Chains A and B, each alone.
Chain A
Amino acid sequence: GEDVEQSLFLSVREGDSSVINCTYTDSSSTYLYWYKQEPGAGLQLLTYIFSNMDMKQDQRLTVLLNKKDKHLSLRIADTQTGDSAIYFCAESLPGGYQKVTFGTGTKLQVIP
């Protein structure tokens, strides 16, 4: 079945690195995503990784995928106050519509 879980809350100091973790259960995932949601707003796609990759880096963002353990992480280097938001990991499954299942969301609080 599809089940994507994240820790609910993370607090870091400005300038430190943040690591947000996610676990999923469906090993047939094709792509895994990280989305950012600011208060009262829709979702912004931050980055994604194909399921046969181990790592992807995009400026301050590093995504690590451990397919064996079904564990996905997002590292934000030099975290800024503007990074404060809720971060959702999501997986898409094979199939015509590539249905996406979202995690529970992690609220990141950046302390100045």
Chain B
Amino acid sequence: GAVVSQHPSWVICKSGTSVKIECRSLDFQATTMFWYRQFPKQSLMLMATSNEGSKATYEQGVEKDKFLINHASLTLSTLTVTSAHPEDSSFYICSARTQGLSQFFGPGTRLTVL
């Protein structure tokens, strides 16, 4: 149980295009979902926290107009990287939390912007 999937697992796009990443909790309802970014050989940095049906809460320094988060249902959250640039290339990981304490992480999406 407690499986979180992400789609796609990797994506390559041209500079200036937008990319959507999906995060799904497969066998539980996630009241809260988190989006993280991980640069090579670095730790995870929290980008934003989203609750179903409400606006996401962004961490300081994260542009909410560039990283659009939608949490339309209790099992799906999406992150859209708008007008992507090479510096947006990174490993994006989502996690989902139920009423309990644990976060369950997705496998991550590797984004490469050319």
Contact = CB atoms under 8 A, between A and B. Distances in A.
Contact of B101 (A41, A44, A48): A48
Given A43-B44, A45-B102, A103-B43, A98 B108 contact: no
Main secondary structure, interface of B, reads strand
For chain B, the bracket of interface size reads: 20 to 34
B101 A99 contact: no
A100 interface: yes
A97 B32 contact: yes
Contacts of A44: 105
Nearest to A45: B102
A31 B101 contact: yes
B108 A100 contact: no
B57 interface: yes
Interface of A: 30-31, 35, 40-45, 48, 88, 92, 97-105
5 contacts: A30-B101, A42-B108, A45-B103, A97-B49, A99-B49
